[in-house]
Amino acid sequence: MEEKPRNPLLTVDAIIEMNGGVILIRRKNPPPGWAIPGGFVDYGESLEEAVVREMKEETCLDITLVRQFHTYSAPGRDPRHHTVSTIFIATATGSPEAADDAADIGIFTQETLPEEIAFDHRQILEDYFEKKY
């Protein structure tokens, strides 16, 4: 019997620039820690549609996409399963609120990043800050 193909799961995240920093959410579910807001792409949805939807669900913000930043695909980047994530840079107006999978929300600078950051998001943020300055 032939084995069913296993494919990586497709996800999107957005580095939302706001008030001189970037928005991170504290995760409700494992793995614990702070993270760049994001989630899974639904079937029939573009990456851009998915990231706009996920940001609304997790941060209650309507975002404006600035540009696609980078795609991260290391098999061990998510301890739950192999994911491939395309990261976008975005802006937003309004007041961020933690919702859906987010237990808390905050705006952080490079100097004030929290100690516990989930997934490979510390590396993503380091890449972002290195290219920004």
pLDDT for the residue numbered 3: 84
Is the distance from CB of 51 to CB of 61 less than 8 angstroms?
no
> Residue 86: left (phi > 0), alpha (psi -120 to 50), or beta?
beta
Segment 26-46, tens digit of pLDDT:
999 999 999 999 999 999 999
Domain ranges of the chain: 9-132
pLDDT for the residue numbered 1: 67
Per-residue pLDDT averaged across 57-85, rounded? 97
If we measure between CA atoms, which residue out of 55, 70, 68 comes closest to residue 23? 55
SS3 state at 131: helix
> Residue 83: left (phi > 0), alpha (psi -120 to 50), or beta?
beta
SS3 state at 41: coil
User: What are the backbone dihedrals phi and psi of residue 66, each rounded to the nearest 5 degrees, phi first?
Assistant: -95, -50
Return mean pLDDT, the chain: 96
**CA–CA gap between residue 89 and residue 66 (Å, rounded):** 5
* CATH superfamily, domain at 9-132: Nucleoside Triphosphate Pyrophosphohydrolase (3.90.79.10)
- Tell me the β-bridge partners of 67: 89
Tokens representing 79 are 């301890």
Alpha-carbon radius of gyration of the chain = 15
